[in-house]
Amino acid sequence: MTQRTLALLPGDGIGPEITEATRVVLAAASEAFGLGLAFKTIDIGFAALEASGSTFPDAAFEAIRACDGIVLGPVSHNTYPARDKGGLNPSGELRKRLDLFANIRPARTRANIAPRAGVPLDMVIVRENTEGFYADRNMHSGPGEVMVTEDVSIAFRRITRHASMRIAREAFALAETRGKHVTAVHKANVMRVSDGLFLECCRSVAADHPDVSYDERIVDAMCAHLVRSPDQYDVIVTTNMFGDILSDLASELAGSLGLAASLNAGETSAMAQAQHGSAPDIAGQDIANPSSLIGSAAMLLTWMGQRENDAALLKAADAIDAALEAALTSPDLRTRDLGGSTGTQAFAAAVAAGLSQVSLAGA
């Protein structure tokens, strides 16, 4: 049996609780499908800051890079100290250093959970992850924001042909496996040069996929379309900040941000990451919903299975998704945010138990 090691990064707030819940499910999947998974817990965030003076020490990165996949718990980076005081954002650092250029964010209505949009959703937002209006990842040196005077600040936005082409290719490749429809979201009516380049790249890739329908939406209009008729969309491709905003909107319309999975993927590395934050106000109470990170871990196994051409990994990913769906179907098994009373670890145990049933059924 091939052994694979997954880096578990508990993070802050509810991160340790939902990361442990995800480990329980992954361990059950490894047992049921013979995956040979091992887990290496690596401290980041406030725990690492206290121990080493940095929220993302170099030793942690080297240990992470040696693993076969990454599961990142939520982090409270907004409350970290300044960067020169050790306050690095682990999520941003990993995306940059490992070139995790594609943030894949499904927005899918789950089980019997009513969508807030009034209709079921099943779309994926493909978000460029390495540039755009993100101060920590669009400059070679230094942040992409400057304070000209005490009353004037300027932010730089970087859009490159290289990054735009590869995220467009990722979106169209995904659409080929789904509904064969890609929508590019932009603001080229105002940012004619930068979003103009992004659209030029999307149109170029669209020409290579004649069987995939392609259209474009201005970002503000897209927000209205998502609220009014979200079922018309399949794969949405967009730049970093627009994708961050739209994916939260789409996931909440689908039912709940607490259910929203997410994968950060590159050519050689991938990282599972819940879409939601660290929710420190409910930390340590065993009431957090681990569904988002569990679903993200299933996406990680799919990425690994496709890369390794390993049927067991792909079956395990499908089984986790099916077991998660089954657990969410029962109102009695849901966590408090979804109207139930099941605790974080008990919910994970229910999903893990469901995996055995799915594996026996031949998932």
Q: What is the pLDDT of residues 209-249, one digit of tens each?
A: 999 999 999 999 999 999 999 999 999 999 999 999 999 99
Tokens describing residue 105: 């964010």
Given a cut of 90, is residue 284 above it in pLDDT?
A: yes
| C-alpha span between 46 and 89 (Å, rounded) | 11
Fold held by 115-254: Isopropylmalate Dehydrogenase (3.40.718)
Question: What residues are annotated to the active site?
Answer: 134, 187, 220, 244, 248
What is the model's pTM?
0.94
What are the strands, taking DSSP E only, across the chain? 4-9, 37-41, 69-72, 102-108, 122-128, 145-149, 152-155, 181-186, 213-218, 235-238, 263-265, 270-273
Instruction: State whether CATH 3.40.720.10 applies to domain 1-103+258-363.
Output: no
Binned at pLDDT 50, 70 and 90, residue 360 comes out as low
- Secondary structure (3-state) at 316: helix
| C-alpha span between 301 and 36 (Å, rounded) | 12
Q: Are 124 and 234 in contact (CB under 8 A)?
A: yes
| C-alpha span between 198 and 195 (Å, rounded) | 5
Q: Which residues contact 174 (CB under 8 A, 6 or more apart)?
A: 104, 124, 126, 235
- What are the extents of the domains in the chain? 1-103+258-363, 115-254
CA-based nearest residue to 179, from 240, 234, 236: 234
Binned at pLDDT 50, 70 and 90, residue 143 comes out as confident
Same fold, 1-103+258-363 and 115-254: yes
Q: Which residues contact 149 (CB under 8 A, 6 or more apart)?
A: none
Tokens describing residue 69: 């996949």
Binned at pLDDT 50, 70 and 90, residue 356 comes out as confident
Express each pLDDT in 312-327 by its tens digit. 999 999 999 999 999 9
Q: Which residues contact 155 (CB under 8 A, 6 or more apart)?
A: 133, 135, 144, 145
Express each pLDDT in 156-213 by its tens digit. 899 999 999 999 999 999 999 999 999 999 999 999 999 999 999 999 999 999 999 9
